[in-house]
Structure 1
Amino acid sequence: MANTNTLSLRSILEKENILIGSNYLDWYRKLTIVLRHERKIYVLEDEPLKEPAPGASEDDQSYYSQYLEDALDVQCIMLSSMSPELQRQHENMSARKIDQHLRELFQESARVERYETSRALCRTMLVEGNPVGPHVLKMIRYIERLESLGSKLDQDLAVDLVLSSLPPSFS
């Protein structure tokens, strides 16, 4: 039963391959969901394990072997969900190196997306007579998108932005 769950979660990565610059952040979010579910996110988040010394305990050697297997799984999951061009560029890299290289490649697009989302959030105003509910949901989507891009807003600031987008007659 666990394999079925794993395969179905991995399928979220198959639906949309990486496209140069256009969907890296969405792909990475999906990748982390899959890796968390499979308990392998540590391969990218924690410091890489060093090979145990020749006289190391059997537990240390076993743990290191498991780490190598998990790192290979992560590498294959990442590569299998990329466009063929990106696969060729990264096929001889470890999962950690792939992660680092992709971050460098797509850092500029993330910065631009943060700017554009912040700009849209700050410029959004409720037109008098329009319903408040859809407007507030739109603002929440902008705030959540900024958070997913690594720009977490203070709760007070987020509330102030929403309130300032409402017409004076609303209050």
Structure 2
Amino acid sequence: MANNLSLRSILDANKLTGPNFLDWFRNLKIILKQEKKSYVLDTPIPPVPATDANAEDKEAYQRHKDDNDRATCVMLASMTPELQKQHKHMDVQSMILHLRDLFDKEGCTKRYEISKELFQCKMVEGSSVRPHVLKMIGLIETWKIGISNGS
């Protein structure tokens, strides 16, 4: 528990104010990874299991729901009071999407520029397909990495 508190102090010292979203999000991912709860950032809570579902499915659902709640609390505790009020009724994924919409203008611009370059990619007549395809794959991978890294 001492390790959790020392790492969480990173977020206490660097509360989300808005302009520091990317730094805050990077620190949040580090803390959730250390607590083995980072999967909640990418994996939605599964549907509520049926009443006749096996115990393993019910436990997995409850564990995911509990981890999501814990991550939500960590996130809310590391925000300014104004941001806490705006996000207090959201789950982890909804909160991240909303915060990205509000504050990740730089990442949005990067993704736009990459998309623009991708859509303008044209193969020169008579040239080899391989370099063209590799360039397009590289652009797509760069765009996807930007999405998953929060930038």
* TM-score, normalised with respect to structure 1: 0.62
User: Which residue matches 2:123?
Assistant: none
How far 1:65 moved relative to its partner?
0.9
User: Which residue matches 1:7?
Assistant: 5
What amino acid is the match of 1:14? Answer: D
Structure 2 alignment gaps of length 5 or more: 111-144
Question: Equivalents in 2 of 1:91, 1:6: separation in Å?
Answer: 22
Structure 1 alignment gaps of length 5 or more: 115-148, 152-171
User: Which residue matches 1:59?
Assistant: 56
How far 1:109 moved relative to its partner?
4.0
Measured against aligned partners, the alpha-carbon deviations of 1:71-119 in whole angstroms (never above 9, x if no partner) come to 100100000000111001101111111111001111214456x6xxxxx
Q: Does 1:101 align with 2:93?
A: no
What amino acid is the match of 1:18? Answer: L
What amino acid is the match of 1:5? Answer: N
Q: Does 1:77 align with 2:69?
A: no
User: Which residue matches 1:128?
Assistant: none
User: Which residue matches 1:131?
Assistant: none
* TM-score, normalised with respect to structure 2: 0.69
Moved beyond 4 Å, runs of 4+: none
Q: Does 1:150 align with 2:151?
A: no
Question: Equivalents in 2 of 1:19, 1:65: separation in Å?
Answer: 32
User: Which residue matches 2:124?
Assistant: none
Q: Percent identity?
A: 40
> Which protein is bigger by CA-based radius of gyration?
1
- Residue 104 of structure 2 aligns to a residue whose secondary structure is helix
What amino acid is the match of 2:11? Answer: L
Q: Does 1:16 align with 2:14?
A: yes
Number of equivalent positions = 115
